[in-house]
Amino acid sequence: MSSKTHNANSILLARRTVLQLRTEASRERMKVSKASADLMNYCTEHAMADPLLVGFPTSDNPFKDKKPCTIL
Amino acid sequence: MAAEKAEMDALKKECDGLRAQIEAARKAVNDGSMSASAGGVEAVGRVQLKLRKNLKGHLAKIYAMHWSADSRQMVSASQDGKLLIWDTFTGNKLTAVPLKSAWVMSVAFAPSGNLVASGGLDNICTVYNIKAASPKTLRELDAHTGYLSCSRFLSDSEIITASGDTTCCLWDLETGKQKVVFTNHIGDCMSLALSPDENSFISGACDSLAKLWDIRSGTCKQTFSGHTSDINAIAFFPSGNAIITGSDDCSCKMYDLRADQEVIGYQDTSLNAGVTSVALSNSGRLIFAGYDDFNCHIWDSLKGEKVGVLSGHDNRVSCTGVPADGMGVCTGSWDSFLKLWN
């Protein structure tokens, strides 16, 4: 690649990076304390609907083996 | 030449300025950590899940698995050159899909249950109709110039792929053509996950960054940094407001999308193995992370503490998944077995 093309590519990349950073810089940001509280509330509100967290009756276990094992 | 140099210097100066601005804005809202906020939350205690099924069938390393939306079927991919579709309730194999290329790295189940997709070092995402009498190739999506690391169906007519060529792509399955190319990563894309509302997706790459993309416009909305090595795994927190990443730097991180920054990290000095895969329980409270140390470690997502481990594999855990009904966890390994736990 000639140094001219290389320079042209570098400039295009730099321009794209600037546009991308402008997009990212312009967004509103929520306070971490509020964001954390929201995530915590979500976990608490949905805890009872989380089988791996709160457990469930053995009879409801879809993966449990239903027949006895035989050693062949 | 002088004009070009002047422009480059101006652009570089603007980049540096914008980066500093972003860091300052993040710092300004960083008024407390998640682990501090979670001080008042009850601990989950020790999470002890039992091995319920050991699925034998593959003859080589398993690289990927994906649950069907019905929470019963599951597809796994192995470098023995096969995809296997399992009925996890019985442990039976329902279908075997022979692959043209054995070097598979990714597999996905369409929400309808009609299609599966796979791809790997062949750079191609192949979509199969598994409802036909015998699995039939529906499409070969061939445009990536690097390996296919991950794919996820939006529907039977659209799929998103992540590639070692550093791009992600939205494909139209009716035409087999690319609809949108997502370009911004500077390292191999390793993993992707769809947002719960399916308007966006996140990608993790070897440039140690995670990015949030708008599916329709193709724009990168946010970039998350902090990892010091490749991000191998990525998942959405169920509310859609946070993401979890797993990396070769042996840690996982949670980034909040609205605060635009990391809110908590999951690492332990005793854990010196890279993270290969991550999956969350339905409330988002538990993170199941597969590691190179042959285990899947369980983290309390709010407190950042290790609360359990799934041990039993004889080689690296390469993939992890929780079905939609949240009734269990599946781990797949280089030891050629898949294990179901709950």
DSSP labels, A6-64: HHHHHHHHHHHHHHHHHHHHTS----HHHHHHHHHHHHHHHGGG-HHHH---GGG-TTS
> How confident is the model over A46-58, as a mean pLDDT?
95
pLDDT at B176: 96
**Below-50 pLDDT ranges, chain B:** none
Backbone angles phi, psi at B158, to 5 degrees: -140, 140
Across the interface, do B281 and A53 touch by the CB < 8 Å criterion?
yes
Query: 3-class SS at B143?
Result: coil
Which among A62-66, A68-72, B137-141 has the top mean pLDDT?
Answer: B137-141
**Residue B204, token pair as written in the block:** 């993790």
Count the alpha carbons within 13 Å of A51 in the hemisphere toward its beta carbon.
17
Task: Report how far residue B94's alpha carbon sits from residue B109's, in angstroms, rounded to the nearest whole number.
Answer: 14
- Say whether pLDDT at A72 is over 70: no
- DSSP summary character for residue B43: P
Q: What pLDDT is stored for residue B244 in this prediction?
A: 98
**pTM reported for the whole predicted model:** 0.94
Inter-chain CB proximity B41 and A43 less than 8 Å: yes
Residue A70 has a pLDDT of 63
Pair B139, B175: CB distance under 8 Å: no
Q: Is the pLDDT of residue A66 over 90?
A: no
First to last CA, chain B: 65
Nearest to A25 among B7, B18, B282 (CB): B18
- Interchain contact, A29 vs B322, CB within 8 Å: no
In single-letter form, the type of residue at position B67 comes to W
Reported as a pLDDT band with limits 50, 70 and 90, residue A1 is low
Check if the beta carbon of residue B235 is closer than 8 Å to that of residue A5: no
- Rounded Cα distance between B119 and B138, Å, is 14
Place of tokens 């959405």: B236
A window 28-67, beta carbon within 8 A of B: 29-33, 35-40, 42-47, 49-53, 56, 61-65
pLDDT tens track for B202-245: 999 999 999 999 999 999 999 999 999 999 999 999 999 999 99
Over residues A25-42, mean pLDDT? 95
Query: Is B243 within 8 Å of B224 (Cβ atoms)?
Result: yes
Cβ atoms of B241 and A40 within 8 Å: the answer is: no
Quote the pLDDT of residue B40. Answer: 86
B212 sits in which H/E element:
strand B210-214
DSSP state at residue B13: H
What pLDDT score was predicted for residue B65? 98
Residue A3 clears pLDDT 80, i.e. is over it: no
Helix (H, G, I), strand (E, B) or coil at B169: strand
State whether residue A4 sits within 8 Å of chain B by CB.
no
Q: Is B261 on the interface with A (CB under 8 A)?
A: yes
Tell me if chain A has a CB within 8 Å of the CB of B228. Answer: no
List the 7-46 stretch of B: residues with Cβ below 8 A of A: 7-8, 11-12, 14-15, 18-19, 21-22, 25-26, 28-34, 37-38, 41, 44
Contact criterion met (CB < 8 Å) for B41 and A17? no
